[in-house]
Amino acid sequence: MSARDTFGGGVAVITGAGSGIGAGLARHACRLGMSVMLADVDETAVISVRDELNASGATAEHAVCDVRDPDAMVALAERTYAGLGPVRLLVNNAGVEQFGYLWDTPVDNWRRVVDVNVNGVFHGIRAFLPKMIEATTPAWVWNLSSIGGVAVVPLQAPYIMSKHAILALTECLRLEVQLAGHEHIRVQAVLPGAVASNIFESAGGVDGVAGGDVNAAEAQRAAMLDIKADAMDPLAAAEVVFDQAAEDRFYLLTQPDYVGSAMAERAETLATQRAPMLRTKRRFDPAAQ
């Protein structure tokens, strides 16, 4: 099935839709013919995406919604079903980064990553899945893991941990949906590699922590910003993700070679039971994709 056959109508709800990958997914969903509910904590950003999409002839609504708040996610679901109709695609996309040694990490920064990246996905599933199950029409759930969900990276431990968690959560959810016999629900894990966004700029660090190694944290941020220079355009990434989803794959990879090499390396590490090793940066080579 083509992406247009599969996602050519219906409603998509996307968290973190005001920027980066979420905005790219929203733009492509509209190009395919979907209506979109755009949720984000950044009101200015999400309104700007909404206005752009509506001006192009699409149907887009926005909600200022914090994925950390379970009641806000329930309210988002109520509003979406009442205003736009049954949800065909739920994208739990909102996510944040954190740089620095784990022992330097402020408790609030740790909580931010876990609350947004892990709890936010759970709140999305709790708010929407029962309605999607009840509707009995085909529906998709995409959770944003990462290449970081199959890699281990020093100086980003909270983020990496959160993305491993979301990959495992998504795999379990896929099995639970099958076990419960909800064949109309497709659960898929999105593993972006390097996609242009604001995630590294908005990441937490270790500033203000007495004795904290700010240099190490900021060097890691700089290294990630360096990778971003060659990163994929979010709209192109969205097109790849929608196409793979329509092919009914479980792992949706923005850059199959780049992310796939990290998956193979992870599998080999576990199979051979070797300890994690420091490595030079995994370079994203756009020409190799």
One character per residue 62-101, x = contact with ligand NAD (rule: CB under 6 A):
----xxx------------------------xxxx-----
The pairing of strands 139-144 and 11-15 is: unpaired
Task: Go through the chain and tell me how many residues it has.
Answer: 289
Interface with ligand NAD: number of residues (CB under 6 A):
31
Dihedral angle computed from the Cα positions of residues 205, 207, 213 and 217, in that order, rounded to the nearest 10 degrees: 20
Tell me whether residue 159 is one of the annotated catalytic residues. Answer: yes
**Contact between 269 and ligand NAD per CB under 6 A:** no
| CB-nearer residue toward ligand NAD: 153 or 177 | 153
Nearest to 73 by CA among 34, 10, 130: 130
Of 14, 25, 41, 161, the residue at the interface with ligand NAD (CB under 6 A) is: 41
Bridge partners (DSSP) listed for residue 39: 15, 63
Of 6, 15, 105, 244, the residue at the interface with ligand NAD (CB under 6 A) is: 15
| CB-nearer residue toward ligand NAD: 2 or 289 | 289
Which of the residues 130 through 169 are near ligand NAD (CB under 6 A)?
A: 144, 146-147
Q: Which residue reads 């839709």 in tokens?
A: 17
Q: Which helix (H) or strand (E) holds 89?
A: strand 87-92
Of 20, 124, 158, 205, the residue at the interface with ligand NAD (CB under 6 A) is: 20
Report angle CA 93, 280, 160 to the nearest 5 degrees. 25
| CB-nearer residue toward ligand NAD: 34 or 147 | 147
CA separation (Å) from 267 to 159, 176, 240, 283?
A: 20, 24, 24, 19
**Catalytic residue from among 81, 101, 159, 258:** 159
Which of the residues 182 through 221 are near ligand NAD (CB under 6 A)?
A: 192, 194-195, 197-199, 202
Q: Which helix (H) or strand (E) holds 171?
A: helix 157-179
Q: What is the nearest approach in angstroms of ligand NAD to the Cβ of residue 268?
A: 21
Which of the residues 225 through 254 are near ligand NAD (CB under 6 A)?
A: 231
Q: What is the DSSP letter of 216?
A: H
β-sheet with 11-15: strand ranges across: 60-64, 35-40, 11-15, 87-92, 139-144, 185-191, 251-253
Q: Which helix (H) or strand (E) holds 90?
A: strand 87-92
Of 22, 100, 205, 212, the residue at the interface with ligand NAD (CB under 6 A) is: 22
Catalytic residues: 159
Footprint of ligand NAD (CB under 6 A): 15-16, 18-22, 40-42, 45, 66-68, 93-96, 116, 120, 144, 146-147, 192, 194-195, 197-199, 202, 231
